[in-house]
Amino acid sequence: MSDFVTLTIDGKEVKAPVGSTVLEAAKIAGIHIPTLCYLKGINEIGACRMCVVDVGARSLQASCMYPVAEGLKVVTNSPEIRESRKVTLELILSSHEKKCLSCVRSINCELQKLARDLNIQDIRFEGEEQNYPIDDLSPSIVRDPNKCILCRRCVAVCKDVQTVSAIETMDRGYNTIVASPFHMPLKDTPCVNCGQCITACPVGALREKSSTEKVWDAIANKDLHVVVQTAPAVRAALGEEFGLPIGTPVTGKMVSSLKKLGFDKVFDTDTAADLTILEEGTELVSRIKNNGKLPLITSCSPGWIKFCEHFFPDMLDNLSTCKSPHQMFGAMLKSYYAEKAGIDPAKMFVVSIMPCTAKKFEVQRPEMAAVGYPDVDEVLTTRELAEMIKEAGIDFVNLEDESFDHPMGEATGAGVIFGATGGVMEAALRSVPYLLTGKDPEQVEVNSVRGEDGIKTAEVEIAGIKIRAAVAHGLGNARKLMEKVRSGEETYHFIEIMACPGGCVTGGGQPIQPASVRNDIDLCAERAKAIYQEDEASTFRFSHHNPTVKKFYEEYLGEPGGHKSHDLLHTHYIARENYPEN
């Protein structure tokens, strides 16, 4: 039996794989069919009816769900089809909140673009505009049901990809709404603040809780020393906000723009990623040698940490006690750096630029205050940084490259790869041999933990010890892996988990690409290229070679895993409830 079928689309003969849909076959043929609710691999339910085509049936069919068949004849463009799509879109628009100029997704709104593409000039129907309360109680995510078009992409990614199910469609007919169970605010649900719902949303119904005004106020306050640090994934995606190709590394321009915005110092979170490896690697070695709780699981992803607190509270002792890198850096800035620079930490304001909305939740955790003040004061997403750059009128694309400030700006290639799934594991496996034997491994790259498989495993032998490692990205994959570990089906020494599918490069705070791009381009792979390019070009590629980190220990911390390190750089976790009983 052939693996392909032959069908005709708009008079054009097309060969398509068996099991594919008419929408996929049309794409092979270079024929465009509009979509709205469709998001490849996440939401393929035919709910919006924008992709309808004529397949000779009694009614028009949703091409995103209709399977190809030998000899099938498809029409994608006819007066009936165009009218059906226009009527459907006008009905959606009739009850939609039309505050486009002040909407966070203006210009980058899929509904807006579709209305333009379908030449919607007037709306023939007058619907009752929704008037729901906005849920802005979460520290990370704002939910505005008045902008929701019920595409269900957010529901699909939360339920099927992340397996959190913090939101769901409720009620029926015209009263259908996407909401949390019992209409609770997101902050009172097991929402892990990962923000994948935001990047899936085609409109402005979901957005991050903005901190830009607080940061502008801090910069303008002459009594404050305002320091900013940037995560590795930010440099791999920020350029997209200014029209640069996906995956363009913009480290130098990013630093230059931050200095122009008025920050007193611009530092690289990668420095603290190297510090994390020394602390976490030492913790792993200690647990292996002293029969401690295994597997040790990384703690860099705050979305994953909250997920574990809700769904695997019995395994909290398996989590590394290390703070995430930007929290470590905040603690070092308000202690070591403050002492060196003669600055009162009470007068220091630390801003983290992150690809992650969950970091906004993390900075508010009361345990993240090593010296009596919050380690980090505010978190901006990559998108928020782009907003500030545009607001300031900075010509980002034509900026001259600048370097991070010293003495806290030194980082290694091992630190930068934290931005991609498998990066923390690879960085650790580069340094654990040194921590065990005092010698560097011969091979720098650990390719077995790279790539986009949902769960990856590796086994390395160091000093006669076989270390079994696993990597999972996306919380659905994390759940599968954790259930196997919990049941005893699998045993490992070390596990890396990132909440977001693809890791930080596709975090919930990264530039939003529409479905038309996401369906064709692997954002994770393209952005990760920038991460690995910077690693390969780095002077130092082992975290334990970082001169700045060495100085931290020599001048201030003492030794990895020591008393002072634990006071500043380590934390604890909290078992959390899931939904209340009905």
Cis omega before residue 295 (within 30°)? yes
Write down the catalytic residue from 148, 194, 322, 504: 504
Nearest to 494, CA basis, from 419, 547, 430, 439 = 430
In angstroms, rounded to a whole number, what is the distance separating the alpha carbons of residues 192 and 311? 11
Is 280 labeled as catalytic in the residue annotation? yes
Q: Coil, helix or strand for 17?
A: strand
Is 300 labeled as catalytic in the residue annotation? yes
Q: Coil, helix or strand for 182?
A: helix
Burial of 137 (0-12, 13-18, 19+ CB in 10 A): middle
Is 555 labeled as catalytic in the residue annotation? no
CB 154 within 8 A of CB 119: no
* Tokens describing residue 57: 């049936």
Neighbours of 397 (CB within 10 A): 11
Which helix (H) or strand (E) segment holds residue 284: the answer is helix 269-289
Is 320 labeled as catalytic in the residue annotation? yes
In angstroms, rounded to a whole number, what is the distance separating the alpha carbons of residues 475 and 347? 38
Write down the catalytic residue from 320, 335, 431, 565: 320
CB 320 within 8 A of CB 280: yes
In angstroms, rounded to a whole number, what is the distance separating the alpha carbons of residues 462 and 443? 13
CB 250 within 8 A of CB 288: no
Write down the catalytic residue from 83, 129, 367, 459: 367
HEC per residue, 33-76? CCCCCCECCCECCCCCCCCEEECCCCCCEECCCCECCCCCEEEC
Q: Coil, helix or strand for 507?
A: coil
In angstroms, rounded to a whole number, what is the distance separating the alpha carbons of residues 338 and 490? 45
In angstroms, rounded to a whole number, what is the distance separating the alpha carbons of residues 417 and 68? 41
In single-letter form, the type of residue at position 535 comes to D
Bridge partners of residue 456, in order along the sequence: 471
Q: Which residue has the tokens 């913009």?
A: 250
Q: Coil, helix or strand for 243?
A: coil
Write down the catalytic residue from 51, 300, 322, 356: 300
* Tokens describing residue 102: 């002040």
User: What stretches of 412-468 show up as alpha helix (H) in DSSP?
Assistant: 413-416, 423-437
| Beta pairing, strands 494-498 & 296-297 | parallel
Is 359 labeled as catalytic in the residue annotation? yes
Write down the catalytic residue from 240, 283, 384, 452: 283
Write down the catalytic residue from 110, 280, 378, 452: 280
* Tokens describing residue 269: 């979170």
Is 367 labeled as catalytic in the residue annotation? yes
Write down the catalytic residue from 110, 279, 362, 452: 362
Write down the catalytic residue from 27, 147, 334, 359: 359
Residues classed as catalytic: 280, 283, 300, 320, 359, 362, 367, 504
